[in-house]
A and B are shown apart, each in its own frame.
Chain A
Amino acid sequence: MLKRKPISTVLWAAALAGLVAAGCGGPKPEQTSQPSESAPPAEGGSANRPQPTAAGNKAEGDTLKIGIVVPINGDQKPWGDDALNGAQIALEDFNRQGGIAGKKIELLIGDSGSNTEQAKSAAEKLISDGVLGIIGDVTSSSTIQIAKSAFEKGVPVISIGATNDDVTKQGANIFRVCYIDTFQGQVMAEFAYKDLGLRNVALMTDRKQAYSVGLSNSFRKHFEQLGGKIVGEEFYETKQTTFTGQLTNLKAKNPDGLFLSGYFPEVGPIVKSAKAAGLNVVPLGGDGWDSKEILNSGGEAVVGGVFCNHYNNKDTRPQVQHFLKRWREKVGGIPGTTMAALGYDAMAVMLDALKRSKSFDSKSLTEAIEATENFPAVSGDITLKGTNGNPIKRALVVEVRPLPEGFVMRKAIDPKDIGK
């Protein structure tokens, strides 16, 4: 009995798999063509985004449903909670100002659980529950998943914090309220080269975050175009605790600036340990830095660092001050991350479009979002008309000062000023 070789078992398995394959391919040839009905997202060409073919959802009765997909579980919870609170405040504000006559707006919450697969499940659930549009997610990788589902169903998406360039290429119904990594990298490259006079910059990239990889690539490209030199790039992963190995390598390359494209929980300790390793550099970064906590985690070492941000809480624009006042009332303190303001903005843009929408269905809502022009949002005036879903708005360069001051705005850079 035991003489039969295990290899025959493997063969048997393969045969069965073959049978399975044959059995499936046979009876249902017509189903193979079905998935191709929805055109695959166009590759490359950013100018012409594919139009969704599906009609999307229609409002029934007096309730208008809007969905939000953010991580309220898992390791991205801080960003998700802030975005959700921001969006809820925006909804309250909208209702206080009268809302939409005769209609009640209902916010359905989907948990992306800090996981792309769950983000997609949550978005698909919301779409089948009949939401007219979706807000979310805070990260690019989850938003791409949401966008794929929403494109098939023709439901518009306004992303909160997905800065990766490819996100809005998924379809003509995908928008965002944040700027894109290419722009952010360009802003920081120009500021580092021209205003700070840096010529040799080293990069530290969080290999686990699509955001960080994209931002580092953009910075590298633009900084080298300007004539600067990237002297070295080292990698780490989110939740890593020691960075001395990478920093010792970079110290040997003698950079005068250190571009940290990751999120603040790692950036603070990296900056601190860079100083301890004897690196005398200007720390630079993107909007992942925006949290008051970086002043604590980076300590004295992060003072003098500059990063690119969406808004600044010392900004005197009425929208910013109103938002901060409402945040204090509802949540308390000041927002922990930049996603609070962006969540507010995403919701506000969505609601504004809903108000202007000709009828209450996904298609008209998409058109109304597309028509957004100079909407006064917390993070600046947002225009989405003819921009392929990427808002034209300014970016702020912010310097980190010791505590009573906090983040001080250094320069507001408009997209049209760039490259001069």
Chain B
Amino acid sequence: MAHAAGLSLLASLDFGTLPSQVVNGVLNGAIYALIALGYTMVYGVLRLINFAHGEVYMLGAYTALFVSWAYGFRPDVPPDQLPESTLLTLLVMMLASMAVCAGVGVVIERFAYRPMRNQARISSLITAIGVSLLLQYGGGLFLPQNPPPTMNERVNPYRQTLELTLVRAPQELTTAVENARQLAQRSEAAFQERLKLEKDRFNLSPEGERLRDAKFEAERQLREAESRRNTAQVTVRVGAGRLAILVASLALMFLLRQLVLFTPTGRAMRAVSQDFDSAALMGVNVDRIVTITFVIGSALAGAGAMMTATFLGTSISPYYGVLPGVKAFVAAVLGGIGNIPGAVLGGILMGVAETLVIWAGYSQFADAVAFVVLIVVLLFRPGGLLGSSAVEKV
């Protein structure tokens, strides 16, 4: 029984799409990684799960949206009257949302987390939950959300898709597609000619219906030809914007690592993360270091929010940060919280795991996979993949 079930599962898998699914997974994971970097920074220094990180991310997305509106990309403008977008527009948007997020992060740290620093960790956690709820519901009062707005796709000047064919289809299949396409174009043209004589597009005369059905038939043949060709070849498609997210998260990971390992500020951060009091005794200005950490962590959230809002075009609402926030936190823990390359590794691993489950045909469970992977990994490596499972001192 189990054997047969395994075989039928194997038979239902489509190995032709596996390469592109893995690429999809890596690209999705890059988004988690980008947000996870901010989580990991704050946690590494403060040992605080910053539940409000997702809400800072949400504010970053709104900021980017407002800047794009200021540039004239408002939703009610017809496409041909929209301004041209350039790399500069994107940079201004990114800097604006990084600045706003950094500001919000600092305010939250100063007024909600710092007073709690000497209290039990769970009290700061509840404060963090409170801040998160306050920003969600407060955002519900003041931020535009009816209907949930989306960034105009023309803000992104790089909308093209890169296509890479790994295995080519035989020549005759490609020719068949070309022939079918010509036929489809001819019948489409014939139908359009006829349509000019018709009164109502949706109540056609018999001749119109004949031509329409012929057009449908030709289109179906084209599709079948394409289907035969596509199953014979293996192609990977990547959106340019999504590639930018991956590059950005890798670059930021590298920069952060350099910062933490090789600068005086980084050294101070590491000192604070090991022991607050000793670091203070050694002359480290703890408050300043914590503020810097929040500035960096929140600015990363801002950059991430701007990129997801622009390149993925998802709807923005006061709850925009909840799901990515939780997922990114899981990614950070998976990679070993407090560890910068770990956050990126965890994010990408999670993205790939989710996409593979979707690929296997169980998309209804995709969101649960992240957590299953997390539990399994933590059972074997309690400190996360790259985290050090430090022995607790007595």
- Chain A interfacial positions (CB closer than 8 Å to B): 73-75, 77-78, 81-82, 195, 197, 199-200, 207, 234-237, 239-242, 244-246, 248-249, 251-252, 254, 256, 264-266, 268-269, 272-273, 276-278, 291-293, 295-297, 299-300, 336-337, 402-404, 410-411
Contacts and interface: CB of A to CB of B under 8 A. Distances in A.
A189 to B, nearest CB: 16
Contacts of A402: 78-79
10 contacts: A78-B317, A235-B363, A237-B323, A244-B24, A249-B363, A264-B147, A265-B148, A265-B150, A276-B239, A292-B147
B213 A276 contact: no
Interface in B77-136: 77-79
Given A245-B28, A245-B366, A269 B237 contact: no
A236 B32 CA distance: 17
B330 to A, nearest CB: 15
Interface in B200-254: 201-202, 212-213, 215-216, 219-220, 223-224, 226-227, 230-231, 237, 239
Contact of A207 (B24, B76, B146, B364): B364
Given A78-B148, A252-B16, A276-B161, A296 B75 contact: yes
Interface in B125-174: 137, 140, 145-150, 152-154, 161
Contact of A278 (B77, B149, B237): B237
Contact of B212 (A197, A241, A249, A251): A197
Interface string B316-333: 011110111000000000
A379 to B, nearest CB: 18
B308 interface: yes
A214 to B, nearest CB: 16
A198 to B, nearest CB: 8
Interface in B359-389: 359, 361, 363-364, 366-367
Given A278-B237, A293-B149, A410 B202 contact: yes
Contacts of B78: 402-404
B14 interface: yes
Given A237-B367, A293-B147, A245 B355 contact: yes
Contacts of B216: 197
Given A245-B25, A245-B363, A278-B237, 7 more contacts: A245-B355, A248-B359, A254-B227, A293-B150, A293-B315, A296-B152, A403-B76
A337 B147 contact: yes
A402 B153 CA distance: 14
Contacts of B231: 252
Contacts of B313: 268-269, 272, 297, 299
Given A236-B363, A245-B24, A297-B315, A268 B79 contact: no
Interface in B292-337: 308, 312-315, 317-320, 322-324
A361 B358 CA distance: 54
B291 interface: no
B354 interface: yes
A268 to B, nearest CB: 6
Contacts of B354: 245
B50 interface: no
A266 B323 CA distance: 14
A249 B24 CA distance: 11
B273 interface: no
Q: How large is the interface on B (under 10, 10 to 19, 20 to 34, 35 or more residues)?
A: 35 or more
Contacts of B150: 265, 268-269, 293, 296-297
B54 to A, nearest CB: 11
A248 B147 contact: no
A241 B314 contact: yes
B358 A234 contact: yes
Select the residue from A75, A269, A273 with max chain B CB neighbours within 10 A: A75
B75 A292 contact: yes
Contacts of A297: 150, 313, 315
A199 B79 contact: no
A239 B161 CA distance: 24
Q: Give 4 nearest A-B pairs by CB, closest first.
A: A197-B216, A265-B315, A297-B150, A245-B358
A170 B220 CA distance: 45
Given A81-B146, A239-B322, A75 B315 contact: no
Contacts of A242: 24, 27-28, 31, 312
B208 to A, nearest CB: 12
Contacts of B237: 276-278
Contacts of B265: none
A336 B319 contact: no
Nearest to B217: A197
A249 B230 CA distance: 13
Given A254-B224, A265-B317, A246 B363 contact: yes
A299 B358 CA distance: 26
Select the residue from A73, A237, A241, A411 with max chain B CB neighbours within 10 A: A241
A318 B311 CA distance: 42
Contact of B21 (A245, A273, A300): A245
A217 to B, nearest CB: 14
A404 B215 CA distance: 29
A252 B27 CA distance: 20
A197 B218 CA distance: 11
Contacts of A272: 153, 313
A280 B354 CA distance: 25
Nearest to B242: A244
B68 to A, nearest CB: 11
A139 to B, nearest CB: 16
Contacts of A278: 161, 237
B324 A249 contact: no
A297 B155 CA distance: 12
Contacts of B227: 254
